């Protein structure tokens, strides 16, 4: 159930929404899940905020490392498009609707730099696969870079201060340890167990095929 089936099932879990603009169906070229999400945040009537509404856009991009093994019940073959080329097309579409754009990125520094050069309107980059601040980050002084290393042992909390024109004034990022004091969400824990079981079974099939070949 890896590949398209895995992404679709994860996308249907309660309070978990998947976004990926460049993982697509190889035959149709269409994204397997939503390429991005728009979230409209509204302040209450007693708020002292300089604006009453903020539209946040979240886009997902990943690199193709060339070592993925995809299988699925629907026989959908997945293809990972170039993330920089995808961002160049999708991010301007988002900017027409969003005040703040957040990129969820999995990959390496050189490709991430290419993405940001292709799409300069990205405000926040939440990245995985790179566990230190990219050396080029100062070249994009208006972009916030955050990550949570240590293989899922921490959650990150990002606080952003905006001006009355919805421009970033400052930010604060902190990590919270996911220790025993924070309970697991049952449906997520069950799904992870199912994924790990399926992954082990699929990996065994792949290794068997390689031996036979």
Cα(148)–Cα(168) distance, integer angstroms: 21
- According to the model, what pLDDT value does residue 76 have? 66
Query: Residue 5: pLDDT band by 50, 70, 90 thresholds?
Result: low
Query: Could you give the angle at the alpha carbon of 32 between the alpha carbons of 30 and 35, nearest 5°?
Result: 75
- According to the model, what pLDDT value does residue 166 have? 93
Average pLDDT over residues 92-111: 94
DSSP H stretches of helix in the chain:
4-12, 83-95, 109-118, 186-212
- According to the model, what pLDDT value does residue 130 have? 76
- According to the model, what pLDDT value does residue 184 have? 83
Cα(133)–Cα(181) distance, integer angstroms: 29
- According to the model, what pLDDT value does residue 12 have? 64
Listed in sequence order, the residues at least 6 apart from 12 whose beta carbon sits closer than 8 Å to its beta carbon are: none
Per residue in 103-146, pLDDT (tens digit) is 999 998 889 999 999 999 999 999 988 777 888 999 998 999 99
Q: Which two tokens stand for residue 107?
A: 């990959």
Residue 184 burial (10 A CB sphere; 0-12, 13-18, 19+): exposed
What is the pairing mode between strands 23-25 and 78-80?
A: antiparallel
Per residue in 21-80, pLDDT (tens digit) is 998 888 888 888 899 999 999 988 777 778 889 999 999 999 986 645 454 555 667 889
- According to the model, what pLDDT value does residue 207 have? 43
The whole model's pTM is what? 0.81
Reference 7, options 55, 54, 72; nearest CA is 72
């Amino acid at each position: 159930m890896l590949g398209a089936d895995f992404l679709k099932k994860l996308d249907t879990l309660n309070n978990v929404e998947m976004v990926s603009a460049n993982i697509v169906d190889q035959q149709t070229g269409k994204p397997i899940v939503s390429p991005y999400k728009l979230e409209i945040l509204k302040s209450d009537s007693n708020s002292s905020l300089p604006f009453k509404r903020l539209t946040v856009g979240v886009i997902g991009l990943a690199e193709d490392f060339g070592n993925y093994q995809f299988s699925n019940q629907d026989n959908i073959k997945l293809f990972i498009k170039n993330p920089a080329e995808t961002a160049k097309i999708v991010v301007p579409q988002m900017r027409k609707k969003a005040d703040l754009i957040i990129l969820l990125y999995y990959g390496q520094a050189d490709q991430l730099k290419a993405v940001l050069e292709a799409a300069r309107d990205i405000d926040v980059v939440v990245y995985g696969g790179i566990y230190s601040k990219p050396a080029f980050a100062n070249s994009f002084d208006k972009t916030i870079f955050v990550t949570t290393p240590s293989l899922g042992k921490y959650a990150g909390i990002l606080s952003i201060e905006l001006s009355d024109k919805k421009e970033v004034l400052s930010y604060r990022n902190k990590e919270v340890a996911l220790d025993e004091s924070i309970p697991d969400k049952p449906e997520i824990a069950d799904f992870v167990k199912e994924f790990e079981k399926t992954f082990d079974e699929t990996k065994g099939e792949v290794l068997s095929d390689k031996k036979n070949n």
